[in-house]
Amino acid sequence: MTQIDVTAPMTPPPSEARAARSERLRLVLRSPTVLIGTLVLAFWVFCALFPGLVTRYDPIFDNQFPTSLPPEWGFPFGTDTNGRDILSRVLAGSRSILVIAPAATLIGTVLGTALGLLTGYFRGFVDDSVSRLVDAVLSLPLIVTAILIVTAVGSSSRWVVTLTIGLIFAPVVSRTVRAAVLAETELDYVGAARLRGERSSYIMFSEILPNVFPLVVVEFTVRLGYAIFAVASLTFIGFGVPPPSPDWAAQINQYWTLIDPYWWMTLFPALAIASLVIAVNLVSDGIREIYER
Amino acid sequence: MTRFLLKRLGLAIITLFLLTVVVFAISTILPGNVGRAVLGPFATQESVDALNEQLGTDESVFVQYVDWAGDLLQGDLGTSLTKQAPTWDLLAPALENSFKLAFVAFLICVPLSILGGVVAGLRYGRFTDKSITITGISLAAMPEFVTGIVLILVFGIWLGWLPVTAQAEEGASALTQTKYLLLPAMTLTLVLFGYIARVTRAGVIEALDSDYTRTAYLKGLPSGVVVRRHVLRNALPPTIAVVAVQVGYLVGGLVAVEVLFNYQGIGLLVYEAARQKDLPLLTAGVLVIGVVYLVVTLIADILYAALNPRIRLGGAE
């Protein structure tokens, strides 16, 4: 087992690595902004997991109450034109975005990391051609590319939206990972692995990947914020989850033309999106700061 | 400088070519019968066949691309299916409208963001810095339609100061037009503030930390002069690059804002084309958006190089 002998001094013993990790975690959680972000995020995840525990009324059935009531004691967020309690709908509305956005981000991060490892490791022709292609994709705004794909595919189901955003993220992620891999390949441990005669796939995924993994984590959290942005925007313009889903952006899509005078049907879902977006960004910013220190 | 220009131009042309390939590839992944998908299940078979022939979908993909790209080279962007007009005739006025909106947004946004970034950088690590930075990050991450809705509610409906649609009447004066554009422009300003301010702030912090700034302080220059002559002059060029990238974003990324404010720009046009499955108009619109972005970043790179003596005088690339 000469392999282990050569690599052993390169990586710190597991206990030390774990100590460094928990130290980082402690630093992340000490920041008040990260703490607030985590709490808000945890609240929405809880609502997504157990909507039955947080809603007072059914979020989907029509005509349970008088229609279009402004906010009052019994209905703090009012009711909508279908006679549903908006508070219940807002509380039940985090589920689809909290499934679609992380799933899309995961797809994009996995594909992008693989692509970044390949281009950064092999360089040369592979790298040049993929990089130019990435440039071309990135010259289109995310939403515009997404609209084109969704229209060309001819349906905007959850799956299509998830895959579309994941695919668009892959080149963005690959670019970041590629830069890090380029720096790693200069280091001695990669040269040592090459001299040992390791296969390229082993060097990329078992040697380099663990060393760029913190960066991948940071990239994931940052992309998650953008994914929420993208899913919400697509749903708002009508290419996402259709009504009667209580999804926030879908509610806004349905009611924003009635904003004068029925402002409460649009404002409360909008504020819910805002709270989620801010929470995710506070957390991702905290994580990035710690890793970059 | 000439070498840099040629190299940058060559890259832009390659990227442009790949952009057409990507856009074409996406628009032809439509599974099944294009004509049927566009016209719907109730159209007659003859009209479906006719459309397929008009679009050339019975040819091989390669032939289709060469035909399409050949037309592009001759300035023919195709014909809209729903409006029966050359797509460029529809795209040109929409693009002009989008540029108008982007221009007003930039007049508000750029000075404000640079000011915010400079203040944050000079107060690095203090409360002012933290509040500017966190506000900027949070607003930048917010989908435009959320920011826009809040602004519409506050300034358009509750206070009643500004019109809630962006489209002024035909032939309205520039001043009236600007008034109609204020709310969408403010929405874009809030979204862009964080990006631009962040880069300016980073530049200011780096310049403050440098040897030349220390020398300037140590030789007794008043801090106002140090900031103006040494810090800002070095901190602003990176900002230009970011600002330019955001122009590209502004012109194409306007979809949600233009839909929300019902503004006849290129974002709204692309959105309507997608809703009506008008593929030729949609592809042409997407392509134009990509080209605008490429051209703007090209100009920005050249501008940045011209401001940077290390590149201008032909040292590094």
B-chain residues within 8 Å CB-CB of A237?
255-256, 259, 271
Q: How far apart are CA A280 and CA A102, in angstroms?
A: 11
> Which pLDDT belongs to residue A20?
73
Specify the length of chain B in residues.
Answer: 317
Whole-prediction pTM: 0.83
Query: Is B256 at the interface with chain A, CB within 8 A?
Result: yes
CA gap A69, A86 in Å, rounded: 10
Contact B165, B173 (CB under 8 A): no
Tens-place pLDDT, residues A214-265: 889 888 988 998 899 899 999 998 887 777 788 888 888 888 888 888 888 8
Q: What integer is the mean pLDDT of B280-287?
A: 90
Is the previous residue joined to A261 through a cis bond, with omega within 30 degrees of 0?
yes
Do the beta carbons of residue A67 and residue A216 sit within 8 Å? Answer: no
Lowest-pLDDT range of A114-118, B84-88, B187-191, B196-200:
B84-88
> What number is the average pLDDT over the span A145-149?
90
Q: What is the pLDDT of residue A79?
A: 82
Q: Identify the burial level of A158 via C-beta atoms within 10 angstroms of its C-beta, where 0-12 means exposed, 13-18 middle and 19 or more buried.
A: middle
Q: What is the pLDDT of residues B147-179, one digit of tens each?
A: 999 998 888 888 878 777 767 666 677 777 778
- Per-residue pLDDT, A62: 78
Q: How confident is the model at residue B233 (pLDDT cuts 50, 70, 90)?
A: confident
Range A63-73 average pLDDT: 79
Q: pLDDT grade, residue A113 (50/70/90)?
A: very high
CA distance A230 to A162: 10
Does the CB of B275 have a partner CB in chain A at under 8 Å? Answer: yes
> pLDDT tens-digit profile of B115-133?
998 889 888 888 888 888 8
Residue type, B224: G
User: Among all residues of chain A, which has the CA nearest to that of B298?
Assistant: A139
Question: For residue A138, what pLDDT is reported?
Answer: 84
Of the candidates B143, B267, B275, which has its C-beta nearest A273's C-beta? B143
Confidence of residue A293 (pLDDT cuts 50, 70, 90): low
| Average pLDDT score over residue span A187-198 | 88
Q: Complex ipTM above 0.85?
A: no
| Model pLDDT, residue A6 | 44
CB–CB contacts below 8 A, A to B:
154
- Chain B CB contacts of A263 below 8 Å: 153, 157
Q: Which pLDDT score, from 0 to 100, does residue B57 have?
A: 66
The pLDDT, as a whole number, for residue A272 is: 92
**Residue of A139, A148, A266 lying closest to B27 (CB–CB):** A148
Closest alpha carbon to A98 in A281, A266, A273 = A273
Q: In this model, does residue B58 exceed pLDDT 70?
A: no
Report residue A102's pLDDT band, with 50, 70 and 90 as the boundaries: very high
DSSP letter for each residue of B28-96: T---S-HHHHHH-TTS-HHHHHHHHHHHTTTS-HHHHHHHHHHHHHTT---B-TTT-SBHHHHHHHHHH
Q: Is A195 helix (H, G, I), strand (E, B) or coil?
A: helix
Quick: pLDDT tens for A274-285: 999 999 988 888
Q: Crossing angle for the helix pair B174-208 and B144-151, nearest 10 degrees?
A: 120
pLDDT in the model for residue B36: 66
The predicted model gives A41-45 an average pLDDT of 93
Whole-number Cα distances in Å, A197 to A87, A114, A200, A201, B77: 62, 21, 9, 12, 53
* Confidence bin at B314 (pLDDT 50/70/90): low
Flag if B14 and A132 touch (Cβ within 8 Å): yes
Q: What is the mean pLDDT of chain A?
A: 84
Give the pLDDT of residue B316.
47
pLDDT at A13 (0 to 100): 55
Answer with the residue of higher pLDDT: A171 or A241.
Answer: A171
Interchain CB distance below 8 Å, A148 and B142: no
Cα A132 to Cα A97, A115, A135, B14, distances in angstroms = 32, 13, 5, 8
**B293-309: string of b/e by CB count within 10 Å (b at 16+)?**
bbebbbebbbebbeeee
Q: Is B279 on the interface with A (CB under 8 A)?
A: yes
List, as one string, the DSSP characters of A71-137. S-SS-TT-B-TTS-BHHHHHHHTTHHHHHHHHHHHHHHHHHHHHHHHHHHHH-HHHHHHHHHHHHHH
Q: Greater confidence, A34 or B56? A: A34
- pLDDT score of A7: 43
Which pLDDT score is estimated for B34? 66
Residues 53-82 of B with CB under 8 A from A: none
Query: Looking at the complex, does the CB of residue B15 fall below 8 Å from at least one CB of chain A?
Result: yes
**CA distance to A53, A137, B88, B139, B268, per residue, from A130 (Å):** 48, 11, 31, 33, 31
Residue A166 confidence class, pLDDT cut points 50, 70, 90: very high
Q: Which residues of A touch B19 (CB under 8 A)?
A: 136, 139-140
Q: Do B138 and A150 touch (CB under 8 A)?
A: no
- Residue A43: per-residue pLDDT: 93
Mean pLDDT, chain B, integer: 82
Q: Using a CB-CB distance cutoff of 8 angstroms, which residues of chain A are in contact with residue B31?
A: 153-154
Q: What's the mean pLDDT in B169-198?
A: 82
Interface test with B, best of A128, A148, A248, A260 (most B CBs within 10 A): A148
Chain B hits for A273, CB-CB cut-off 8 Å, are 142-143, 146
CB contact under 8 A, B18 and A280: no
Q: B6 in contact with A at a CB cutoff of 8 Å?
A: no
Confidence (pLDDT) at B56? 67
For testing the chain B interface, which of A237, A257, A282 should be mutated: the one with the most B CBs within 10 Å? A237
**pLDDT score at A5:** 45
Chain B residue with minimal CA distance to A271? B146
Omega within 30 of 0 (cis) for the link into A51: no
